């Protein structure tokens, strides 16, 4: 059985002297909550990746998120709530949504549901759609921040759009160095990849993005098959994570390699016989997909160095969390280099 996240981590990062990375003390969380009410942005940890938080009901605050991330305004944001009760004020829950929320929240599952007519979430946050992507995070720091702010929080990953997602406070600082955004330091994210997103606005249930919750677990609870969603309109995605290019390092990424060249860095998985490479990091020596998911973005950050010609990635099994890992790697590999 999965252990509950019952403690708030208080580890300090060495960069704390820059006055951007903060201990997640009660005082600092309260101060961050006040900043959100004042229209400022806060970076905070979740169990999936670090998020860039804004008051979801403020057009001005949400606009800052798109500006800081350099994110296309047609790409909707996930709205984070403290609990199911608060989420129900903004969206219409159906039978399936209630079952999944009760079973998997708080946790790494995002539900796309129809908005209520009275919904006060910024239209910019939902990209003008009549639906909303919502979740209740499991990380205790995240939930305390949302609770103390008393707000629904719009929070995409705390990085420049299209780049590797952050799983530590240091990643956020490195990716957003020019922005005066305070970061609550919760250590390394436990899950390490973004939430699974499913669409519950139609008769059938569609998978919009594989993520930290395995699809098979959702299907087992519902007794239904989750259908793949084909994004026929890339300029009008229904949720985050549907862009063809995403999660990319600054150097080329080669996936499902059959050979490696000496100038490359190797991102390996399990045992192998490769020998000629500049550096290696192994997602999981044991071949454990949960461990691999947790390490994915952290290791991509570590290997994203100009001293390597590219990053070569060994094949990852396309089952369980491997589906989400392969989704991230495929999109990251599509970056064009001149």
* Summary mean pLDDT of the chain: 91
In 70-214, which residue ranges form alpha helices assigned H by DSSP? 84-87, 95-104, 140-149, 169-175
pLDDT (0 to 100) of residue 150: 97
- Find out whether 278 and 308 touch, Cβ atoms under 8 Å: yes
Work out whether strand 182-184 and strand 42-44 pair parallel, antiparallel, or are unpaired.
parallel
Report the CATH number of the 253-332 domain: 3.40.50.11030
Closest CA to 325 of 312, 311, 313: 313
- Find out whether 234 and 277 touch, Cβ atoms under 8 Å: no
d(CA 132, CA 113): 6
Q: Where are the domains of the chain?
A: 14-228, 253-332
pLDDT (0 to 100) of residue 178: 81
- Find out whether 157 and 241 touch, Cβ atoms under 8 Å: no
- Find out whether 154 and 62 touch, Cβ atoms under 8 Å: yes
Work out whether strand 311-313 and strand 253-254 pair parallel, antiparallel, or are unpaired.
parallel
Lowest mean pLDDT among 4-8, 36-40, 74-78, 151-155: 4-8
d(CA 192, CA 104): 17
Closest CA to 134 of 91, 192, 173: 91
Q: What's the average model confidence in pLDDT over 108-133?
A: 96
pLDDT (0 to 100) of residue 9: 43
Cα–Cα–Cα angle for 127, 129, 134, rounded to 5 degrees: 80
Lowest mean pLDDT among 3-12, 85-94, 146-155: 3-12
* Higher local confidence (pLDDT), 338 or 230: 230
Share of the chain above pLDDT 90, in %: 82
Half-sphere exposure of 42 (CA within 13 A, CB side): 27
- Check residue 105 and report its DSSP letter: -
pLDDT per position as a tens digit, 190-212: 999 999 999 999 999 999 999 99
pLDDT band of residue 74 (cuts 50, 70, 90) is: confident
Task: Give 5-12's long-range contacts (Cβ < 8 A, gap of 24+).
Answer: 5/47, 5/138, 5/139, 5/140, 5/190, 6/140, 7/140, 8/140, 8/141, 8/144, 8/186, 9/141, 9/185, 9/186, 9/187, 11/185, 11/187, 12/185
CATH of 14-228, one of 3.30.559.10, 3.40.47.10, 3.90.870.10, 3.40.50.12280: 3.90.870.10
DSSP-assigned beta bridge partners for residue 228: 207
pLDDT (0 to 100) of residue 64: 96
Look up residue 68 and give its two tokens. Answer: 């800081």
pLDDT per position as a tens digit, 285-305: 999 999 999 999 999 999 999
pLDDT (0 to 100) of residue 57: 97
Q: Is the pLDDT of residue 12 over 50?
A: no
d(CA 44, CA 28): 11
d(CA 101, CA 94): 11
pLDDT (0 to 100) of residue 1: 39
Q: Is the pLDDT of residue 259 over 80?
A: yes
Q: Is the pLDDT of residue 335 over 60?
A: yes
pLDDT band of residue 5 (cuts 50, 70, 90) is: very low
pLDDT band of residue 31 (cuts 50, 70, 90) is: very high
Q: What's the average model confidence in pLDDT over 52-59?
A: 98
* Higher local confidence (pLDDT), 239 or 79: 79
pLDDT band of residue 177 (cuts 50, 70, 90) is: confident
């Amino acid at each position: 059985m999965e252990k509950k996240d019952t403690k708030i981590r208080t580890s300090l990062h060495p960069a704390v002297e820059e006055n951007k990375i903060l201990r997640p003390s009660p005082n600092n969380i309260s101060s961050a909550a006040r900043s959100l009410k004042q229209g400022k942005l806060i970076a905070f940890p979740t169990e999936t990746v670090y998020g860039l938080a804004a008051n979801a009901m403020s057009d001005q605050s949400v606009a800052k998120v798109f500006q800081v991330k350099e994110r296309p305004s047609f790409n909707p944001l996930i709205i984070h709530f403290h609990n199911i009760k608060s989420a129900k004020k903004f969206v219409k829950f159906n039978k399936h949504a209630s079952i999944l929320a009760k079973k998997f929240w708080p946790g790494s599952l995002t539900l796309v549901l129809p908005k209520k007519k009275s919904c006060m979430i910024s239209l910019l946050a939902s990209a003008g759609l009549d639906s909303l992507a919502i979740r209740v995070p499991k990380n205790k720091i995240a939930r305390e921040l949302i609770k103390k702010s008393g707000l629904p929080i719009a929070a995409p990953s705390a990085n420049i759009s299209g780049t590797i997602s952050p799983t530590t406070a240091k990643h956020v600082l490195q990716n957003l160095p020019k922005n005066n955004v305070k970061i609550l330091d919760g250590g390394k994210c436990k899950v390490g990849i973004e939430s699974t997103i499913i669409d519950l606005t139609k008769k059938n249930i569609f998978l919009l993005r594989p993520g930290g919750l395995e699809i098979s677990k959702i299907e087992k609870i519902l007794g239904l098959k989750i259908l793949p969603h084909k994004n026929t309109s890339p300029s009008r995605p229904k949720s985050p994570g549907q862009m063809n290019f995403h999660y990319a390092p600054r150097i080329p990424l080669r996936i499902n390699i059959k050979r490696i060249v000496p100038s490359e860095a190797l991102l390996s998985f399990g045992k192998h016989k490769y020998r000629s490479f500049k550096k290696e990091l192994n997602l999981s020596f044991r071949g454990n997909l949960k461990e691999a998911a947790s390490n994915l973005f952290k290791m991509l950050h570590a290997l994203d160095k100009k001293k390597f010609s590219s990053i070569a990635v060994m094949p990852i099994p396309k089952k369980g969390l491997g589906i989400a890992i392969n989704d991230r790697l495929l999109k990251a590999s599509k970056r064009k280099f001149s």
